[in-house]
Amino acid sequence: MEIEYHLIESFGRLLALAPNAPADLTSLTRIISPDSKPVTRESLATFFRAEGIMAAAVQGGAIVGAADLVLVTKRNGFTYRLEHVSVLPGHEGKGIARQLISSIHRVLSPNGRYVDLSCESFRERANALYERLGYAVRHTNSRRFRIGST
């Protein structure tokens, strides 16, 4: 069965393409973040209301790969953040992630300053792909504050 690629800008369109999208996306998200909360209809609706864009690889009504683009508004303009680039086991190595990211690149506004992403250093294949696609390594001291942890 052929894989179809879609840029999705609304919750309704997502469900029309993949009726089981919340469960599919939970599985994909947990590949890269095992402790992640489940993806819900509500979280997806919120994502799209906040101008999120999703690139999805769909096969037989199921999402087998996805990547999210998030707009980050700052006091001096805006940037983007590429999030949750993931492909189901058994579908890796077929160019799906490259196609998803390339689809997202085509909708970037020239008014945006850049696209950030982060990736664990042990994910060697993913990091190599990001470099081939033009993502430079930034030597930052990135930190995360977990809400409710104090």
pTM of the predicted protein model: 0.90
Q: Residues 95, 87: contact at Cβ < 8 Å? A: no
Phi, psi (deg, nearest 5) at residue 26: -60, -45
Question: DSSP letter at 142?
Answer: -
How does pLDDT run across 70-94, given as a tens digit for each residue? 999 989 889 999 999 999 999 999 9
How does pLDDT run across 55-68, given as a tens digit for each residue? 999 999 999 999 99
